[in-house]
Chains A and B, each alone.
Chain A
Amino acid sequence: MRNIWIIWRKELNSYFVSPIAYLLLTMFALIFGFFFWNALGYFVLMGMEEQMRGQAMPMNLNEQIIRPLLSNASVIGLFFIPMITMRLFAEEKRTGTIELLATSPIRDVEMILGKWLAALTLYASMLLFTALNFAFLFKYGNPDWKPLAIGYLGLLLQAGGLLAIGTFISTLTKNQIIAGAATFGVCLLLWVLEWVSGYETATWAQVLAYMSVITHFESFAKGVLDSKDAIFYLTVIFLGLFFTTRSMESLRWRS
């Protein structure tokens, strides 16, 4: 436990002493802020139109702003995750510091968990900026907070899975760019897999669509905690981290 904490602190520290963390936070805040601004503008326009028509259509902040924005955040996340994970192991392998970690009295699992948790923490701090936007909704409106909380849980679970995959890919190379590009490709693929369900209903298409990380986010965005989807994400996290430990082990045998 203590070792996980030591590695976690070291990783987080190296994110925040380099420009990486600030760059990612700024970009994410900007992009998400833009989406928020758009969604809000559209919502206000709708409200005015309804007033002019004199009909009382139900306006719902949760349904019309929070839900689509959470889905947006999940997709924006896909693009940021490779940048978070690409250096985790690739950099240590390139500079040789992996030799220090591997000859210290800590287990591979502790090292991997520490790094993965640090990546997840950085992602969570990116989400904090989205919370800033949503805070305005609570100040001037009256949305339900429970679906939002479940939406955040979904975002963290989804990111956890993709970060685990990214961590695994980072152990395969000592070139950050390769690790980043490969992770980005996988993330993108896991997003678009779902599209096959649009025109095909055969079993293979269903399986492919099921593997898409986006499909499983829909229930979370709605504010529904579906154990099926939660288990899917937990499985991805477990598999990603499991493959990372195997990869670390094979690293020792091969090198």
Chain B
Amino acid sequence: MITVKELTKRYARNTAVDRISFEVQKGQIVGFLGPNGAGKTTTMRMLTCFLPPTSGGATVAGFDVLEQPLEVKKRIGYLPETPPLYPEMETSEYLAFVGKLKGLSGADLNKRVDYVCERCAVADVKQKLLGKLSKGYRQRVGLAQAIIHNPDVLILDEPTAGLDPKQINETRDLIKGLAGDHTIILSTHILPEVEQTCEQVIIINKGKLVATDSVHNLQNRARGAESILLELAGRNGDLDRTAVERRLGQIAGVSRVQFKTSHGNRNVFEVESQKGFVRGDLARAVVEAGWDLNELKPAAMSLEEIFLQLTGAEASSPAEPASKGTQ
């Protein structure tokens, strides 16, 4: 449904998106994951023909974003980071306006307006001014606006940002419900969101594609072979490393023990295991052998940690080039 090839966006001083390639199949929900400023919004804006790419290209439903933008736009529903609402319009009036913009008219238009109001649970605020709606309603009207013309592809930029937990759940369910009819790309920097809603994950960082895989595979990668970091110290100051490796290697389920680093009296070992829980056995073995157990922790086990690993585990990332939220 969506093919992205070597997509690049360069600004005067920096590269916001750097040669990204991926494909999305029809009917999939794809999570677009990355820290703030990774280039998610820029990529989405290029897919929706809002920004032209510097080089490379993309096709949506078989149409090129540069060559046939009008055809692409007809087939895309887009929810930007802040829902594009006119505060002086009423909900139904606004949805009718967007519907007309997207090419609907007459009875068809009225039917779609009613349908999306029902679908996105905004029917009760149909006659209210958009400027008076709460954040949750605004987000849902934004979603309703995106699906009004029943597009093949839905592109949602952080659809749950700024909502309270209840609204987040409602929005997620809504998006999941839309998946059958539409191909959906949604961006987020919240991991559980991807785990819960998406089938496929595309991780980008600093404009570069870091990983693209199914959620299932990523989770397997996280949960299959467990690796554990152990920090040990000898009672009287020194520790026989080979003895440690031998002793720990004897524990059932442990496939590999390796000395990593030492810091004075503190020695760090990495233990890989096939079986689920060997931590208890490890701790017992260490204590029985008379060593001190300073620390025992799983290494890069959650999706979160894979993400951090892949994206370089930066606490703060540089602001996204002027494009973020501004226009």
Contact = CB atoms under 8 A, between A and B. Distances in A.
Of A3, A6, A100, A251, most buried by chain B (CB within 10 Å of CB) is A100
B43 interface: no
Nearest to B155: A103
Interface string B75-90: 0101011101111110
Interface in A58-113: 93, 95-107
Nearest to B321: A255
A118 to B, nearest CB: 14
Contacts of A93: 327
B51 A252 contact: yes
Nearest to A106: B101
Contacts of A6: 97, 100-101
A99 B84 contact: yes
A104 B78 CA distance: 9
Nearest to B82: A96
Given A10-B97, A105-B74, A255 B327 contact: yes
A247 to B, nearest CB: 13
4 nearest A-B pairs in the assembled complex, by CB-CB distance: A100-B84, A105-B73, A104-B101, A97-B84
A18 interface: yes
Interface of A is mostly: helix
Contacts of B327: 93, 96, 98-99, 174, 251, 255
Given A10-B97, A103-B73, A104-B101, A252 B82 contact: no
Nearest to B11: A254
Interface string A1-40: 0010010001001100110000000000000000000000
Contacts, number: 76
Of B70, B81, B98, B101, most buried by chain A (CB within 10 Å of CB) is B101
Contact of A103 (B49, B323, B325): B49
A103 B74 contact: no
A104 B102 contact: yes
A2 to B, nearest CB: 8
Given A100-B101, A255-B322, 18 more contacts: A6-B101, A10-B86, A10-B97, A95-B86, A96-B81, A98-B84, A100-B80, A102-B49, A102-B50, A103-B50, A104-B73, A104-B102, A105-B73, A105-B102, A105-B103, A252-B51, A255-B51, A255-B327
A97 to B, nearest CB: 4
B78 A99 contact: yes
Interface of B is mostly: loop
B76 to A, nearest CB: 7
A102 B49 CA distance: 8
Contacts of B81: 96
Interface residues of B, number: 33
A10 to B, nearest CB: 6
A245 B51 CA distance: 15
A100 B98 contact: yes
24 contacts: A3-B101, A6-B97, A6-B100, A14-B86, A14-B88, A17-B88, A17-B89, A18-B88, A95-B84, A96-B82, A98-B84, A99-B45, A99-B50, A100-B84, A103-B48, A103-B50, A103-B76, A103-B78, A104-B98, A104-B102, A105-B71, A106-B101, A252-B52, A255-B323
B145 interface: yes
Contact of B326 (A13, A100, A255): A255
B84 A96 contact: yes
Contacts of A255: 51, 322-323, 326-327
A232 B62 CA distance: 46
Nearest to A18: B88
A96 B102 contact: no
A136 interface: no
B25 to A, nearest CB: 23
A24 B105 CA distance: 33
Contacts of B71: 105
Nearest to A14: B88
Interface string B209-224: 0000000000000000
Contacts of B76: 103
B70 to A, nearest CB: 5
Interface string A29-54: 00000000000000000000000000
